[in-house]
Amino acid sequence: MRIGIIGAMDEEVIKIKESMEVERIEKKASMEFYLGKFLGKEIVVVRSGIGKVNAAVCTQILIDDFNVDAVINTGIAGGVYSEINVGDVVVSTDLVHHDFDTTAFGYEVGQVPRMEVYSFKADEKLVDIAVRSAEALKDFKVYSGRIISGDQFINSREKIKYFREKFNAYAVEMEGAAIAHVCYLNSVPFVVLRSISDKADGSAHVDYPTFMNRAIENSIGILSNMIRAM
């Protein structure tokens, strides 16, 4: 089994790169793909860059050129669900594009026109492994729920209220739905793992740099447990 691991930023994947046995590095679409082994498992690790287009391109390359059997997207996000705090973890049940709006043609916000699904469901086995891997660390609360994505950094109480009411979302970020979308089209199992770096409200621009490293540490710990269990 070959596992593709995507992080949007260097900070989200650097520790995995440093810990893995790197066999080779390939550069495609201005991205560097690290191939090798980690905890005895075959992995491909890559920094996609921020945003949905970068994430989608990266995911398709992992599938087409590196033949990954599963994709794990790890990183940080803003908390949407009211009980979630900085440092807690959300494992995706499904993902939605919150910034996709063709309501003028009768579609729901988030619905991609002429697709059979509204949300992109994560693989149940991977979700279970991720939840158990997170709960084993016991340093934070673990939630499983919907994650929403858009090409925006959210820093607004009004938007968070809207996201809760419209999408019943647990977390918001900028890549996961695109990765899920590509995996769905290619029938590749996936899960998105997010550690909360901020509350995505009016204080998000302050909380994000302060708590980012703590959130990334949590994600890396869970990812290590996941790979060990797969």
Number of residues assigned to the chain = 230
Report the DSSP pairing between strands 120-121 and 89-97: antiparallel
- Name the DSSP letter for residue 88: -
- Relative to beta strand 70-79, strand 89-97 is unpaired
Q: Is 198 a catalytic residue?
A: yes
What is the C-alpha to C-alpha distance for residues 128 and 230, in angstroms, rounded to an integer?
11
* Helix axes of 204-229 and 124-135: crossing angle, nearest 10 degrees: 110
Per the annotation, the verdict on 11 as an active-site residue is no
How far apart are the C-alpha atoms of 194 and 131, rounded to whole Å?
11
Quote the CA–CA distance of 82 and 99 in Å, as a whole number: 21
- Residue in 88, 173, 175, 198 annotated catalytic: 198
* Nearest residue to 49 (alpha-carbon basis) of 182, 179, 227, 180: 179
Give the pairing type, strands 190-198 and 70-79.
parallel
* Residue position matching structure tokens 């919150």: 98
* Positions marked active-site: 12, 198
